[in-house]
Amino acid sequence: MKSLPRRTAALATAGALALVAPAGAQASSLITISGATASYPLVSLLAAKYSKLVHHRVRFRITQGGSQIGVNDVAAGRVSIGDVSRDPLSADPKGLDFYPIAKYAVCIVTNSANRLTNLTTAQAQAIFTGKTRSWAAVPGASGSSGTIDLISRTSTAGTLSNFQTLLLEGKKVSSVATQESSEGLLRQAVTSDPSSIGFLSNYQAGLGGVNVVDYNGVACTTANARSGAYAGVARFYEVTNGRATGAVASFIAWIDRSRAARRIISSQWIPIG
C-alpha cells in the first residue's frame, strides 16, 4: 500500500452525483468514482469543492454500491477511483494503491423508542451474533421487550467489516440479520422498527431518528473518535489501480494538503494526522 500527501473537502446525499462543466467551458477531465456509501457524503463534498476551485476543468461522476464494489471497479478499470471505507485486505487485487483521506467512527444504533444507553463488548457480541435474541435480556433496553431485529449491511460494505473487527472483536454478525445495501437504507430500517438494532457511520448516526448507544461507556462522537477514547474508528480511502497520476493524483493531493479540504473533513469526520 502506497500513499500520497494528504488533501480533501466534503457533502451528503444518496444515489449518484455528477458535477458537469458549464456550457462553453474548455475541455475538462472526468474522474469516475464508485464504492462505499459511508464515504459518499464526504467525497461528494470534496469533489464539489474541488471542481469549483478548478473552474470545472475537472468533472466527477460518483456512484455508490459498497467498498468491495469500489475495489472491484477500480481494479477492472471501470472507474478512476474506488471509494473504500475499510483497510486493505490480503484478498484485494494486486497493484492497488490505498490513499487514506479521513477517519470516521462506527456507531451502534437502536430505534429512538429504545433508549438503550450502553453496551459492553460482550453484550454487543451476544446481540449481533444472535446469542441474545430478546430485548428483555438486555439491561437498559426500553420500548421493546420482544425479539431483537438485527439490521446489518451486505457483504460488500466496508462499514460491516470494520464493525465486526473493531466492535465485535472479530465476531461475525448473525445470518438472521436483515441486510441493507446502503447506510441510508439501514438508518431507515432502524428508524421504522422499534425492535431493531444496527450500526452506522457517525455521520449517518448524527442525522437523527436513531438512538446512538455508548460502547464500553464511551459515546460514539466525533470528539471521542478524534481523541482516541472511542474504539470504533476506521479510515476512508481513495483507491487507484497503480500509483495515482494526472487529474486523479492532483485531486488526491488536494485532499491531502488543502486547508479547504481539511475544513470539510473536520466538519463531520476526522482528518488524517
Q: Residue 119: which of 167, 188, 187, 191 has the closest Cα?
A: 167
Q: Tell me whether residue 243 is in a domain.
A: yes
Do 71 and 136 lie in a common domain?
no
* Residues 217, 154 within the same domain: yes
What's the pTM value of the predicted model, to 2 decimals?
A: 0.87
The answer to whether residues 87 and 35 belong to one domain is yes
Of 17, 41, 42, the residue nearest 30 (C-alpha): 17
C-alpha cell at 130: 444472535
Residues 196 and 113 in one domain: yes
Residue 225 lies in a domain: yes
Q: What crossing angle do the helices spanning 246-257 and 259-268 adopt, rounded to 10°?
A: 70
| Structural domain contains residue 1 | no
Residue 145 confidence (pLDDT): 75
Residue 81 in any domain: the answer is: yes
Q: Which residues contact 222 (CB under 8 A, 6 or more apart)?
A: 105, 202, 268, 269, 270
Task: Specify whether the CB–CB gap between 10 and 42 falls below 8 A.
Answer: yes
Instruction: Indicate whether 123 and 140 sit together in one domain.
Output: yes
192 and 137 within one domain: yes
pLDDT at 228: 95
Same-domain check for residues 110 and 95:
no
49, 264 contact by CB (below 8 A): yes
Q: Indicate whether 205 belongs to any domain.
A: yes
Looking at the fold, whether 78 and 161 belong to one and the same domain comes out as: no
**What is the model's pLDDT at position 28?**
84
Q: Is residue 273 part of a domain?
A: no
Q: Is residue 255 part of a domain?
A: yes
Q: Are residues 151 and 184 in the same domain?
A: yes
Domain count along the chain? 2
Domain holding 256, by residue range, is: 17-103+234-268
Query: What is the spatial distance between Cα 153 and Cα 177, in angstroms, rounded to a whole number?
Result: 9
In a shared domain, residues 114 and 204: yes
* 111 and 99 co-located in one domain: no
pLDDT at 236: 98
The enclosing domain of 198 has a CATH number of: 3.40.190.10
185 lies in a domain?
Answer: yes
Mean pLDDT by 10 residues, the chain (273 residues): 37 32 58 96 97 94 95 98 96 97 98 96 98 95 89 94 96 97 95 97 94 98 96 97 97 96 96 90
173 and 245 share one domain: no
